[in-house]
Amino acid sequence: MDTRNVPKLERGVEWCGAQVTQFRVPPESADGAASNRGKVPLAAYELLWRTALANLKLQMTRATFDTWVRNSWAIERSGSLLVIGVPHSRAQEVLDQRLAVVILRTIQAIPGGEGLRVEFRVASHCVDYS
């Protein structure tokens, strides 16, 4: 298998576990010098959700955070709606019914999160490069 075109993950980044900050495409220069070309920056809504996750981790029990919140990710922001992806319908149900108030309050306390609404959606997070 030719692995030259497979993105290399930055150190400390999990791909399908939840946390994806950026990936690096191998440099194309002949000498192999490192370059910033190919880095994909996070969108503002992704940074907002990352900040919310860090704050939520401090507000919840470890079991609650690890079970229901840790494996969520920001899918998109459309106007005042922030769409959060979750891995399965049970997580969507728990976030909608039990944790929505604390999540919404946390997001709205972050600069840039004022007035946002949140929707939890079951979605696929993994990317297939094959």
Length of the chain, please? 130
77-89 average pLDDT score: 94
pLDDT grade for 75, boundaries at 50, 70 and 90: very high
pLDDT at 42: 74
* Among 21, 63, 59, 52, residue whose Cα is nearest residue 39: 21
Mean per-residue pLDDT of the chain: 76
Q: Is the pTM of this model over 0.85?
A: no
Interatomic CA distance for residues 17 and 127, integer angstroms: 12
Interatomic CA distance for residues 41 and 43, integer angstroms: 6
* Domain locations along the chain: 1-41, 44-122
- Residue 23 in contact with residue 10, Cβ under 8 Å? yes
Q: Which residue has the higher pLDDT, 28 or 130?
A: 28
Q: Are strands 81-86 and 117-122 parallel, antiparallel or unpaired?
A: parallel
CATH architecture of 44-122: 2-Layer Sandwich (3.30)
